[in-house]
Chain A
Amino acid sequence: MRELKLMKGNEALAESAIRAGCDAYFGYPITPQSEVLEYLSREANQRTGMVILQAESEVASINMVYGAAGTGKKVMTSSSSPGISLMQEGISYIACAELPCLLVNVNRGGPGLGTIQPAQGDYFQSVKGGGHGDYKLIVLAPSTVQEMSDFVELSFELAFKYRNPVMILTDGALGQMMEKVELNPQKERKHVELEWATTGRKNGNGRVITSLHLKSEQMEQINIRLQKKYREIEKNEIRYEAVNCDDADYIIVAYGLVARICHKAAELARAKGIKVGVFRPITLFPFPYKELFENVKDKKGILDVEMNAGQMVEDVRLAVEGKVQVEFHGRMGGVVPSPEEILEKLEEKYLGGSK
Chain B
Amino acid sequence: MNEKKTLDDQHYEKIIAEESICTQDHVVYEPPKSAMYETPMHYCPGCGHGVVHRLLAEVIEEMGIIQDVIGVAPVGCSVLAYNYLNIDMSEAAHGRASAVATGIKRVLPEKLVFSYQGDGDLAAIGTAETLHTCNRGENILIIFINNGIYGMTGGQMAPTTLANMKSTTSPFGRDVATMGSPLKMTDLVAQLPGTYYVTRHSVHKAGNVRKLKKAIVKSFEYQKEKKGTCFIEVVSNCPSNWKMTPVESNKWLEENMLPFYPLGDIKTPNQKEN
Chain A residues with a Cβ under 8 A of chain B: 23-24, 26, 51, 53, 55-57, 59-61, 63-71, 73, 75, 89-90, 93, 97, 198-202, 205-212
Contacts and interface: CB of A to CB of B under 8 A. Distances in A.
23 contacts: A55-B99, A59-B99, A59-B128, A59-B129, A60-B102, A60-B132, A63-B100, A63-B129, A64-B102, A64-B106, A66-B92, A67-B92, A67-B104, A71-B70, A71-B104, A71-B107, A93-B93, A198-B88, A198-B89, A205-B37, A208-B91, A209-B91, A212-B80
A210 B78 CA distance: 13
B88 A66 contact: no
Question: What 6 A-B pairs are tightest by C-beta distance, nearest first?
Answer: A67-B103, A67-B100, A64-B103, A68-B103, A63-B99, A210-B91
Interface string B97-138: 001111110111001000000000000000011001000000
B91 A71 contact: no
Contacts of B128: 56-57, 59-60
Contacts of B82: 206, 208, 210
A205 B89 CA distance: 11
B70 A200 contact: yes
A53 B98 CA distance: 14
A126 B140 CA distance: 33
Q: At the interface, is chain B mostly helix, strand, loop or mixed?
A: mixed
B108 A199 contact: yes
Contact of B103 (A75, A200, A210): A75
B142 interface: no
Contact of B90 (A24, A53, A65, A209): A209
A73 B107 contact: yes
Interface of B: 37, 66-70, 72, 79-80, 82, 85-93, 96, 99-104, 106-108, 111, 128-129, 132
B224 to A, nearest CB: 13
A203 B92 CA distance: 24
Contacts of A68: 103-104, 106-107
A67 B72 contact: yes
B69 A53 contact: no
Contacts of B107: 23-24, 51, 68, 71, 73, 75
A65 B103 contact: yes
A248 to B, nearest CB: 48
Contacts of B100: 63-64, 66-67, 70
Contacts of A209: 89-91
A200 B67 contact: yes
A24 B106 contact: yes
Nearest to B82: A208
B106 A200 contact: no
B67 A205 contact: no
A276 to B, nearest CB: 47
Nearest to A208: B82
B91 A26 contact: no
B195 to A, nearest CB: 16
Contacts of B89: 198, 206-209
Contacts of A207: 88-89
Nearest to B72: A67
A90 B93 contact: yes
Contacts of B93: 63, 66, 89-90, 93
Most buried by A among B69, B72, B91: B91
A231 B103 CA distance: 31
A200 B132 contact: no
A40 B85 CA distance: 37
A180 B99 CA distance: 37
Nearest to B125: A59
A66 B91 CA distance: 10
Nearest to A211: B91
Contacts of A93: 91, 93
Contacts of A97: 91
Given A63-B129, A89-B93, A206-B82, A199 B102 contact: no
B103 A201 contact: no
